[in-house]
Amino acid sequence: MMNPIKVIVPIVLGSIVLAVYAANPASVEYVDAQDAIIQAEIDALSATESQPANRNHSQKANPASVEYVDAQDKILQDQIDNIHPGSKYTVGQILCTTTAPASCTLTSTDAWGVVIYADPNSNISGHGGVAMALTDQTSAHWAENGLCQVTNQMANHYDIYGGITNTDNYCHFSGSGCTTNCSTNASAFHTCTNYSGGGYTDWYFPAISELMLMFTVAQQLTYGAESIAGASFINFNNGPYISSTQNNGFGEGNGGSPAPANDVLLFSFSAGDQGFDAKNNEYSVRCVRALPV
């Protein structure tokens, strides 16, 4: 039975934004200042070219040509785009393998997923966002027994894209209590790494924050202003869904005591909260994949 946890995992993106500014020397203020300089050059150029043809040729020529100004403006625009490039995807977007994005719907025969996260900093993460499968995969447990615990926080990642690291580390880990890793059919890691929805082979077992994103998008598409016809597919079952995130003492269990370190974090789509349970208990699985930039 799922045990409740009082602490909700935050989705922290602020550090990514700071990394963008640290990597790119051009701030918005700097770009605005440079744009003002270029505009002054354009104004000066226009004023010079509007003078009579018999003007004093000894006057110093304006070094700024229209081509030069256009080139500098493009450089500055590129700097602006690199600060916050955005994403080519939108949350709730239905994805198809061959049907054009504008025509892709739930009834498209090649529909394979729905976007749950559109990455605004794709130039830093290297990913365009995250998409979830249209349907649940088979129920599975986290590991082959409750003793398997990936050490050194290798499967403790809870953030967006954290499931990629958890899945890769678990599938390549060998230690006490972990005897089969991704080779067992009952493991959720095996379920997602062997899933091939849409013809893709890069699916992974989602981290807890990625399950939380699924819940948010499911609510929006089913009940919110962004609801779409036929979105009943996105309704998750009432039971908890298992994440790839080890508990390792994260949060609190019943009575305020630390949650057991050999458990795994779960998320209930009926209650909208998270909890934990032993790794050898089976729960629903919904796989995800990172989108290309």
Instruction: Tell me, yes or no, whether 270 and 161 share the same domain.
Output: yes
My answer on whether 32 and 165 are in the same domain is no
Residues 203 and 275 in one domain: yes
The answer to whether residue 267 scores a pLDDT higher than 60 is: yes
36 domain residue, yes or no: yes
* pLDDT for position 285: 95
Has residue 57 been placed in a domain? yes
Q: Which long-range contacts (CB under 8 A, 24 or more apart) does 223-230 make?
A: 226/92, 228/92, 228/94, 228/106, 229/106, 230/105, 230/106, 230/107
**Domain ends where: 54, 83, 112?**
83
More confident residue, 232 or 118: 118
User: CB 275: neighbour CB atoms within 10 A?
Assistant: 22
Question: In terms of domains, do 33 and 79 share one?
Answer: yes
Residues 192 and 231 both lie in one domain: yes
**Are 127 and 53 in a shared domain?**
no
Structural domain span for residue 180: 87-291
What is the pLDDT at residue 87? 77
Mean pLDDT of 150-167: 79
The conformational region for residue 186 under phi > 0 = left, psi -120 to 50 = alpha, else beta, is alpha
- Domain count across the chain: 2
Is 10 among the domain residues?
A: no
Higher pLDDT, 131 or 154: 131
pLDDT tens digits for 20-42? 333 344 566 666 777 777 777 76
Q: Is residue 165 included in any domain, yes or no?
A: yes
4 within domain boundaries: no
For residues 29 and 145, membership in a common domain is answered with no
**Does 77 share its domain with 212?**
no
Output the average pLDDT for the chain: 75
Q: Are residues 186 and 129 in the same domain?
A: yes
Please say which residue of 59, 83, 107 terminates a domain. Answer: 83
- 47 part of a folded domain: yes
100/222 same-domain check: yes
Closest CA to 217 of 97, 149, 86, 129: 129
**Residue at which a domain ends, from 57, 83, 109:** 83
**pLDDT of 141 above 70:** yes
168 and 243 co-located in one domain: yes
Which of 21-25, 65-69, 179-183 has the largest mean confidence?
65-69
pLDDT grade, residue 169 (50/70/90)? confident
Mean per-residue pLDDT, 105-122: 90
Higher pLDDT, 204 or 29: 204
**pLDDT score, position 58:** 47
* Cβ 266 vs Cβ 277: under 8 Å: yes
Cα–Cα nearest to 206, from 45, 37, 1, 9: 9
Weakest-pLDDT range from 50-64, 117-131, 270-284? 50-64
* Model pTM score: 0.68
Amino acid, single-letter form, for residue 156 = N
**7 within a domain of the structure (yes/no):** no
Does residue 75 share a domain with residue 208? no
